Chain A
Amino acid sequence: MADLALDPRMELNPPLVRGGMTYTDVTAKISSIVEGKPPKQWYIAMAFAVPLALLLFACLGYLVATGIGVWGNNSPVGWGWDITNFVWWIGIGHAGTLISAILFLFRQKWRTSINRAAEAMTLFAVACAAIYPLFHTGRPWRAAYWLFPLPNELLHMWQNFRSPLMWDVFAVSTYGTVSALFWFVGLIPDLATLRDRATTPLRKTIYGLLSLGWRGSATQWRHYELAYLLLAGLSTPLVLSVHSIVSFDFATSLLPGWHTTIFPPYFVAGAVFSGFAMVVTLMTLARWIYGLENLITMKHLENMCKVMLATGMIVGFAYGTEFFIAWYSANQYERFIFLNRAFGPYWWAYWSMIACNVIAPQFFWFRKFRTSIPAMFILSIFINIGMWFERFVIIATSLHRDFLPSSWGYFKPTWVDIGTYAGTFGLFLTLFLLFLRYLPAIAISEVKGVLHQQVSAGHAAHGGSH
């Protein structure tokens, strides 16, 4: 603690908690979101989100009843929007754990006021992602059961553990579970706070049960902090592994445009890229809805813009490398598939991707854009779109023209494709808004921890602590 207190950065950098807030202020401010009546904006957002979520269920119902023929998938394009959206959502889901785990390990204190929301975002994004592998078979009841190594009565068969899809099942479910644990462990002390502030018996009971009788004793804090540290340590390789394994779905195939060793790092960078973009989008919204300017400060947002700039550059570099390797490999099919991406029937998808992922983030070189809420809001949305196109380009354009020209084809989405995708947004937003409404969106105890360091750092500045 002392080292942190005397850490010169702490005073050079703008404070992470502004407006001279006290511990009580922090408690009050964050708890009030949960305890008070939600603002008008919240209801507006819900009115937008819930119908979309219902659309999702309608589309899925239609799909299950009819078969995936209601989507645009065909031969040769066996995977269309379904897996595109799966990879996209999983990518979104990366920022949360990254912020909570990796930044935690690197002692990046600025994470504290955003990590809770980011983790929630991760969970909801993973939930949205999981819908696709489950439903893209058209018969989810089969997929759900047979994709896990459970003894089954029909054939007494087991899974094929050589299949990257099998790895996916393990990676994604593990990731979802661990993120949930991580998130809940983080919540316990804050739930205790809400319990202690609760006025109605109902709230007291619910928060009481959820907080597991947390007392905040030194003993508890001791085990708690170690557990949290261990979870962070576990999540860090996990978060890197998930998108690496998702990328194996493509990298281990023999399809030109998929069969590349660059995919794991490229996908992880892309995931972080899109994840942070989504965090920025949501944080700027949450800030607007709940006026959290003092907790989600410009410093937080600017840091995230820097991360987007960095990962965006990595992704752009990967695009270039792909082309170079395709040329360098002197493999006819490789060369064709990449030229076909840029100049074939799907050229528009490719160039939208470049515009959104490579060009858009360049604005973050300038402080003006890094510190302008509207600018980063718009750019983050561009990046989300661009990352969607990246997945679409990788999947659809590689599939639609592979080895035998006789079986070349084209993919067109149907209204069900579009409805399902729009619907996942509805689900995601609904869950996120409910989270904002009923759970502390900012880690109260952690913020207090940071505040305490600021205070003591303040003391240190005025002639050291006693």
Chain B
Amino acid sequence: MNELIQLNLSSLTGRKYWRSLNQLADTPEFRQWVEREFPEGASELLDSGSRRTLLKLMAAGFGLAGLTACRRPVEKILPLSKGVEGYVHGRPLHYATAVEACGVATGLVVECNDGRPTKVEGNPRHPYSLGATNAFQQAMILDLYDPDRARQVQKQGVKSSWADFEAWWLEQNTKLGDGSGLRILSPRSTSPTLDALKAEIAKKYPQSVWVEYEPVSFDRVLEGARLAFGQPLQPHYRFDQADVIVALDCDFLGLDTLSAQPVRQFASRRRPEEGRELNRLYAVEANFTVTGAMADHRLRARASDIAAFALALARELNVTGAELNIVNQPAARERKFLAAVAKDLLAHRGRSLVVAGPRQPAEVHALVAVINQALGNTGQTVSYTRPPYQPSDSLAAVQKLAEDLAAGRVSTLFVLGGNPVFTLPATADWAPLFRKTTAVVLAADENETWKAAAWQLPEAHPFESWGDVRALDGTASIRQPQIQPLYGGRSALEIAALIAGRTERRGHDLVRSFWAAQWGAGAETKWKKALYEGVIEGTALPPVDAKADAPRVFAAVQAALKPAPPGVEAVFYPSWHAFDGRFANNAWLHETPDPMTKLVWDNAALLSPATARRLGVKDGDVLEITSGGRQARCPALVLPGHADDSISLQLGFGRSACGRVGRSVGHRVEGLRAASNFWFGPAEVRNTGATYRLVTTQEHHTLVEPITGLKRHNIVEEFTLGEYRHRAEHGKHEPHPATDLFPEFDYSKGYQWAMAIDLSACIGCNACMVACTAENNIPVVGKDQVSKGREMHWIRLDRYFSGEEDDPQAVMQPMACVQCEKAPCESVCPVAATAHSPEGINEMAYNRCVGTRYCLNNCPYKVRRFNFLNWNKDVPEIRKMVFNPDVTVRMRGVMEKCNYCVQRIEEKRSQAKAEGRRPIRDGEIVTACQQACPADAIVFGNINDPESRVSKLKRQARDYSVLEELNTRPRTSYLARVRNPNPELV
């Protein structure tokens, strides 16, 4: 493959290359061979989740992938920083683009090597990325090269073509008349171009219905706003302006926000050195989320009790109109908490913020709006704009759709993306309903919906297709493709254009003509600028001066709020692995452990230790959960700090029709989900007695030793703000001078690379792990091997609980190789395969390593990873396309570990050299983990430069080295976690 790529590049145009490969592709033997590669149903042979699956998974699609590997977009797209003219073979190009999920858009920059996108990075110009990404955006690149993607237009499973489909549609749409039989079901979209097309379709088919549905949606937030302000409004929080934050069942640092912005804003207020007062976070939640882990005070409450709590809070704050009978009285502990929170909020009028999670009903959101208004936060820490898309009550709409389908009122159903058959509420049995009509399904992979379709159309990956999106604040971006569709897929936009009867059907033309119309004069330059910057200036929506109608809200609350029934509730959350199922076939995400449970390759029913004791359940016991008259099975996992009588279930698992990575990985809980208990509802739980093997990368070890009961020091340091201030006054404590047998090595010259990781800022969101996986070609090993302790992540997130089991605190610690100056691993390697660079990096010579694993044994941080087997064996060509060409792919029997992204260092070094041998500027080199970090918790740089950011951080009072007493002199030091507890609650 590679020399073919080079061939392509060396030739001036791709044409010659194309022709040659076409010939190859056209030979019948080759065709046969491709067929042989993935016979129908071969995947049944594979046990899900195992590493074999993973190696086999992309055995598909070798040939085609190879063919398309080096296809360049036909349309002109512009790189962010370097011009195409200046393209140098081997130098990556960066293109701005944008993606959206659940109606939340983020701007990205994609790195392309030799015409293939290899790495996703945040777009610093985009208000919701700020240069950072989350784990999912990092992992999208793998989905692009997933050979299990839908690759062939099919009619009832029979090979067909786009031409056939268009022909079919041309005669079909004549039968539609006013479109009363036409339904279009699509995911939430913020695309202005698509909005325009929707309008056209509505005009063409007045009776047609376009339903937007997301299994994880923010509808209730907007509904709450409608209740409070009379119109659906999108709240915008300024976490960086808030001194006191109260999160009601709101994981705003984790999965309840899909952009880096809130994290960046929040983290900016957790650094005591930066002058501004440390903010204080109160979390009230059922599940133990990363937000709860960051909270200074956390109250465990069932999701169904949040409303009552919000109301109680409103009353505690004497919000006018809140004098109404409180449903079920809060417990003593809760009252104490309430009082303290209220006092704190009142003390910070206009500088506080109350937020509620998307799971909570509209009333709670309305209530929160009223509270924020009462506290004078509106306009200060929270503002409102019109939402970037047309809000609608999806649940009602899909209910209606079900009825229409059942009644046979639907002749044609377009499904433009997503996987509704899997994700739609279980109120109906969707697959048969879809079969009752002519379902035209545009799907990224051959999912459950695809199986139920009459026409099956492969959808283009966001990195393959043109489009446009609007961020929450309305900021628009153009989504430009990085590569031609690998499998000839098309985007929802293009299908919509077809439905609308447009003549121009190429995504590029659609988007461009739409914006040309918007811009009028100077469209050409604006277009180029938009592509170049990744954001379109002046598209942000103006804030709406909204006044909440408190009496109406309280009336509504009064009416809606029923005393939450006692007993167990089941709550649905998106998962860190598959999110809502859209990443179910993404091996990187499956292997990246859940931040709190450290679970991999599965989902589980999370419950509190107390509830587990009461139900007589232990880890791995399969539970039968009954809710809303429906049943689902899911293995239990006890999570310290989880609310009692609440069961947290993650969506997106147990996919029956899916690629080979995700098929029947985990357990499907969507089956419990109906409109009534869409997010949570009462449930019965029964222990089936069956057990299931759950694999975690980290046992529930706290820092407290099992036998002695002693707490381990020098690993994670935590201070309260008071302790920190005291320490800051008395200066940083210096390590005890260690006496050495040998003289010190001189590291005083040249660049000396080092890293500082801020535990106060780190929220443990996994973005760094996935970014590192993508950057350093880290293999995935699968559930079985992880269970043997053979995961390969160069950076991992250690999660430690502290305090009592029922209500502990948690702290996250990113742990990669700390690059010890006196590295224990180096002195024991018999063949000197690991040695120090003069710039202080502990480097591995892969082709020298013989694999004694002595270095692993002698590493006190256990950050070295060994290739116990050949993880990269029979990785097919298409999967290889995601590899970073700057990083070696390691063979079996070789030790590997973090090296501070040495390839990035060298890249900048050569760049600096090319630019007149100037010194490398501070902040110029950004490691993959640092780049992805939404909290900006990781800082890398040169400690020989006293002015570098990292040097400054290391001079701070809370800087410390892990296991300092071993005198390994780590180059990576940590900034202690500072908590800001409310004196009244400690």
- A residues adjacent to B (C-beta < 8 A): 66-69, 72-79, 133, 136-139, 142-143, 146-147, 154-155, 157-160, 162-166, 169, 249, 252-255, 332, 335-336, 339-340, 343-344, 399, 402-410
* A136-B852, A138-B892, A154-B848 known; A75 vs B708 contact (CB < 8 Å): no
Is there contact, CB below 8 Å, between A164 and B828?
yes
28 contacts between A and B (CB under 8 A): A74-B789, A74-B868, A76-B856, A78-B854, A133-B852, A138-B868, A139-B893, A155-B847, A159-B830, A160-B831, A162-B827, A165-B830, A166-B830, A253-B828, A254-B824, A254-B860, A254-B966, A332-B710, A336-B710, A340-B706, A402-B860, A404-B962, A405-B703, A406-B698, A406-B800, A406-B813, A407-B698, A408-B701
Determine how close the nearest CB of chain B comes to the CB of A161; give it in whole angstroms.
9
Is A339 a contact partner of B707 (Cβ separation < 8 A)?
yes
CB <8 Å contact, B851 and A407: no
Residues of B within 8 A of A136 (CB): 852-853
CB of A297 to closest CB in B, whole Å: 45
B707 CB contacts on chain A under 8 angstroms: 336, 339-340, 343-344
Complex interface: chain A residues within 8 A of B892 (CB): 67, 69, 138-139
A200: shortest Cβ distance to chain B, in Å? Answer: 47
Report whether B869 and A66 are in contact in the complex, using a CB–CB cutoff of 8 Å: yes
Chain B residues, CB < 8 A from A166: 830
Q: Known: A146-B848, A339-B707, A408-B701. Is A163-B830 also a contact (CB below 8 A)?
A: yes
Docked-complex contact A139 and B790, CB < 8 angstroms:
no
Contact among B701, B790, B845 with A405 in the assembled complex (CB-CB below 8 Å): B701
Tell whether, in the assembled complex, residue A69 and residue B848 are in contact, meaning their CB atoms are under 8 Å apart.
no
A150 to chain B, nearest CB (A): 12
- Given the contacts A68-B868, A339-B707, A79 and B857 also touching, CB distance less than 8 Å: yes
By Cβ-Cβ distance, the 8 closest A-B pairs, closest first, are: A69-B868, A78-B853, A406-B798, A69-B869, A407-B862, A74-B789, A405-B701, A160-B832
Say yes or no for B702: interface residue by CB 8 A criterion: yes
| B715 interface residue per 8 A CB criterion | yes
Q: Name the B residues within 8 Å of A249 (CB-CB).
A: 854
In the bound complex, how far is the Cα of B831 from the Cα of A154, in angstroms? 13
Nearest CB on B from A393, distance (A): 15
Residue of A nearest to B698 (CB): A406
B790, A403: Cβ atoms closer than 8 Å = no
Q: Flag if B705 contacts A403 (CB, 8 Å).
A: no
- How far, in whole Å, are A409 and B786 apart by their CA atoms in the complex? 11
A299 to B130, CA, bound (A): 85
Task: Determine if A75 and B851 form an interchain contact, defined as CB atoms under 8 angstroms apart.
Answer: no
* A404 / chain B contacts, CB cutoff of 8 Å: 715, 798, 815, 860-862, 962-963
| B347 sits at the interface (CB 8 A) | no
- A169 with B800: in contact, given A68-B868, A78-B854 (CB under 8 Å)? no
Contacts of A72 in B (CB 8 A): 788
Contacts of B828 in A (CB 8 A): 163-165, 252-253
The answer to the question of B158 belonging to the interface, with a C-beta cut-off of 8 Å to chain A, is no
Residues of A within 8 A of B870 (CB): 67
**B813's closest neighbor in chain A, by CB?**
A406
Report how many residues on chain B are interfacial, defined by Cβ distance under 8 Å. Answer: 57
Contact A78 B824 (CB under 8 A): no
The residues of A that contact B365 with a CB separation of less than 8 Å are none
Measured in the bound complex, the distance between the Cα atoms of B853 and A292 in whole Å is 47
Q: Contact residues of B with A, CB < 8 Å?
A: 698-699, 701-703, 705-708, 710, 712-713, 715, 785, 788-790, 796, 798-800, 813, 815, 824, 826-832, 845, 847-848, 850-854, 856-858, 860-862, 864-870, 892-893, 962-963, 966
For the complex, give the distance between the alpha carbons of A136 and B785 in Å: 19
- Give Cα A75 to B789, complex, Å: 6
Distance in angstroms between the alpha carbons of A79 and B813 in the assembled complex = 27
Chain B residues with CB below 8 A from A252, complex form: 828
Question: Does A154 lie within 8 Å of B854, measured CB to CB?
Answer: no
In the bound assembly, the distance between CA atoms of A78 and B897 in angstroms comes to 15
Whether A165 contacts B788 by the Cβ 8 Å rule is: no
Within the assembled complex, what's the spacing in Å between the Cα atoms of A146 and B893? 14
Q: Among B788, B963, B966, find the residue whose CB has the most chain A CB atoms closer than 10 A.
A: B788
On chain A, the residues within 8 Å of B893 by CB distance are 67-68, 137-139, 142
Instruction: Please state if B800 and A255 are interface contacts (CB–CB under 8 Å).
Output: no
Query: Pick the contact of B868 from A73, A142, A254, A339 — CB < 8 Å?
Result: A73
Question: Distance in Å from the Cβ of A270 to the closest Cβ of chain B?
Answer: 20
Bound-state Cα–Cα, A404 to B832, Å: 26
A5 to chain B, nearest CB (A): 53
B824 touches which one: A74, A164, A253 (CB < 8 A)?
Answer: A253
| A410–B713 CA distance with the chains assembled, in angstroms | 23
User: A255 to B847, Cβ gap below 8 A?
Assistant: no
Q: Which residues of A contact B703 (CB under 8 A)?
A: 405
A335 to B703, CA, bound (A): 15
Contact of B830 among A79, A147, A253, A408 (CB under 8 A): A147
Shortest distance between the CB of A246 and any CB in chain B (Å): 13
Q: Which residues of A contact B698 (CB under 8 A)?
A: 406-407
For the complex formed, measure the closest distance between the CB of B828 and the CB atoms of chain A, giving whole angstroms. Answer: 5
- Given the known A-B contacts A76-B789, A137-B893, A404-B861, are A146 and B800 also in contact in the complex, defined by CB atoms under 8 Å? no
